[in-house]
Amino acid sequence: MYKNILIPVALDRDHDTKASFEAARHLADADTKFTILHVREPIPAYVASQIPECVFENTRHEPLEELHRKASELPDASARLISGHPGRAIVDFANENEIDCISIASHKPGLENIFVGSTANKVVHHAKCPVHGTP
């Protein structure tokens, strides 16, 4: 069905990626390329200016290692770690990398989503390609 599937993931213990990975497998052709993406929130400039550059480099190692471990669960999958505001960064990444489907985990919306909106909600409303959300 799809040739280039993006699977955004949150790298915390509260988010389970099994459902979005399984959905991506069902939506894939035999030669589909998968991209596992994690978006790191930007650090405010007033904080970043007080942190040595080597600390930033060291903090990239662990998330990249986790992303590569997750990517190994799918054939022909790559891992990407980018910085930005998650909803917008995922949509921009999809547009810039010819993604033809996004498989994203969502959660049960709460009151905070009325005012702020969840990442999955932002992706669904702004992506130019099909988005498959999983609970």
Round to the nearest angstrom and report the end-to-end CA distance of the chain: 22
Domain range spanning residue 78?
2-134
Average pLDDT over residues 81-86: 94
pLDDT in tens, 37-49: 999 988 888 887 8
Residue at token pair 């590569």: 68
C-beta of residue 127 within 8 angstroms of C-beta of residue 102: yes
Fill in the amino acid letter for 133. Answer: G
Higher pLDDT, 76 or 78: 78
Range of weakest confidence among 34-48, 50-64, 79-93, 118-132:
50-64
Range of weakest confidence among 33-42, 46-55, 60-69, 80-89:
46-55
pLDDT in tens, 84-115: 999 999 999 999 999 999 999 876 555 444 44
Alpha carbons 11 and 31: distance in angstroms, whole number: 27
Q: What is the CATH number of the domain that holds 50?
A: 3.40.50.620
Q: Give me the number of domains the chain comprises.
A: 1
